[in-house]
Amino acid sequence: MELPPTLLETTTFVLHKVGVAGRRAVAARLAAETGLSLWEFAVLATLADTGPAAQREVGGRLGADPSDMVRIMDGLLREGLAARERDPADRRRYRVTLTPSGRRRLARARAAVAETERERLAPLSPDERAQLHGLVARLFHGAGG
């Protein structure tokens, strides 16, 4: 692909290409090494980072539709990576928790993601990687998610 200068000079364009390729790489490795989808990984990570939570709260954090959350959670339950029980204080809610098995799977997933990350960012020095992360993080927050 010998892209024309007009496109190569557009930061947004290159950024998008790199972002999509990166996401694909992470998703592929995650699936191959842990059997998890990106959404499943995100949910497990959320549970680990913020503790047990209602299904809707997890979905809200990740920007996932409640109806999609159900299906993601179904998969995690089926594999015993997460557990859910009704919240005694409000029985409409679930209290979703990470199981020990889920915690182990998450550890493997983190490693897979980190490894892919290392590969993809290999052209940059550690300083540059930190720079890049800082810049896109600012854009991320600046754009309101």
Partner DNA sequence: TCCATTAGTGGGTGACTACCAACTATTGGA
Partner DNA sequence: TCCAATAGTTGGTAGTCACCCACTAATGGA
Residues that bind a copy of itself (CB under 8 A): 1-23, 25-26, 42, 45-46, 48-50, 60-63, 110, 113, 116-117, 120-124, 128-129, 131-133, 135-143, 145
In the bound complex, what is the minimum distance in angstroms from residue 60's beta carbon to DNA?
8
The three-state secondary structure class of 92 is: strand
Q: Which residue has the tokens 């896109």?
A: 136
| Own/partner pairs, 42-45, CB within 8 angstroms, 24+ separation | 43/69, 43/72, 43/73, 43/76, 43/82, 44/76, 44/81, 44/82, 44/98, 44/102, 44/105, 44/106, 44/109, 45/106, 45/109, 45/110
Nearer to a copy of itself, 58 or 94 (CB): 58
Stretch that binds DNA, among 4-12, 54-62, 99-107, 136-144 (CB under 7 A): 54-62
Nearer to DNA, 27 or 121 (CB): 27
List contacts with DNA (CB under 7 A).
20, 23, 27, 38-39, 54-57, 59, 63-71, 73-74, 89-94, 96
